[in-house]
Amino acid sequence: MDQELKKLLELQELDLRIIELDDEKNSSFGELKELNERYEEAAAEFEKGKEKYKRLQIEIKKVDMDLESGLEKIKKFESQQSLVKTNQEYKALDKEIIDARARVAIFEEKMLEKMEENEQTTALNKQQARKVEKQQGLIAEKEEEIKHKIADIELQIEQVHQQRESLSGKIEKKLVRTYTRIFKNKKGTAIVPIFNQTCQGCHLTVPPNVEAQARRHEELILCENCGRILYFDDAEEEKKEQ
């Protein structure tokens, strides 16, 4: 294989490695982002729980005031009843007492409901608080781990870029430009082998004359279908013949 083509293949390996490392780096950032999103969801639920608890305390206070007011009315009507002189007045107050007791019974039932709800809300808030705290711990632990991982990846990327710069300086600039343009357009592999008369980039048949040119390794040969640089792998051909 032509030495320049070999160098271009080495350059491609370095570029593919850079893409791989960038993907790994972005994946690490994505992992941290997912953790933060989970924390925000847990924190939002916790805040909702706190707001619900506050509203519930106001409702409980109101029911308690209504209950106290109802009990006071009963006491008042009972006190007045002991002072009345006519049967009609007694019966009228008796009706007021019965109505007041009915309202008090409603308030007492409502208070029981609110207290039960308050107990459930308090338990849920404690559970959500533990969830938020746990998520904070996970984030702190994972963030430190991911920071080290990203720093290591960035170091590897820098080293590969240095290798790429050194290698590209040894290849004809025109060839590097052609390769780079194709690599960017294809968002990946720019140089592919011909195998079984097929371009391994687009998997379409390569004309015999194009394959013959690729065999000679005299110049860069581009696939007529996908525009990638073609090469003929002599080692693979030897395996095929054995």
Q: 139-186 pLDDT, tens per residue?
A: 888 888 888 999 999 999 999 999 999 999 999 999 999 999 999 998
φ, ψ (nearest 5 deg) of residue 195: -140, 130
Which of residues 172 and 2 earns the better pLDDT score?
Answer: 172
pLDDT value at position 10?
A: 95
Q: What residue spans define the domains of the chain?
A: 14-168, 173-241
Select from 1.10.287.1490, 3.30.230.10, 3.20.110.20, 3.90.550.10 the CATH code of 14-168: 1.10.287.1490
Give the integer Cα–Cα distance in Å for 8 and 228. 13
> Is the pLDDT score of 239 beyond 90?
no
> Is the pLDDT score of 230 beyond 90?
yes
pLDDT value at position 236?
A: 55
Distances from the Cα of 119 to the Cαs of 6, 135, 137, 242, in angstroms? 74, 24, 27, 80
| pLDDT tens per residue, range 20-52 | 999 999 998 888 888 888 889 889 999 999 999
The tokens of 184 are what?
């960017």
Three-state DSSP string of the chain: CCHHHHHHHHHHHHHHHHHHHHHHHHHHHHHHHHHHHHHHHHHHHHHHHHHHHHHHHHHHHHHHHHHHHHHHHHHHHHHHHCCCCCHHHHHHHHHHHHHHHHHHHHHHHHHHHHHHHHHHHHHHHHHHHHHHHHHHHHHHHHHHHHHHHHHHHHHHHHHHHHHHHHHHCCCCHHHHHHHHHHHHHHCCCCEEEEECCEECCCCCECCHHHHHHHHHCCCCEECCCCCCEEEECHHHHHHHHC
> Is the pLDDT score of 234 beyond 80?
no
Which of residues 159 and 133 earns the better pLDDT score?
Answer: 159
172-190 b/e (C-beta count within 10 Å ≥ 16 → b): eeebbebbeebbeebeebb
Angle between helices 173-186 and 3-81 (to 10 degrees): 30
Q: What rounded mean pLDDT belongs to the chain?
A: 91
pLDDT value at position 185?
A: 92
Which of residues 183 and 134 earns the better pLDDT score?
Answer: 183
pLDDT value at position 16?
A: 95
pTM exceeds 0.85, yes or no: no
pLDDT value at position 8?
A: 94
| pLDDT tens per residue, range 66-77 | 999 999 999 999
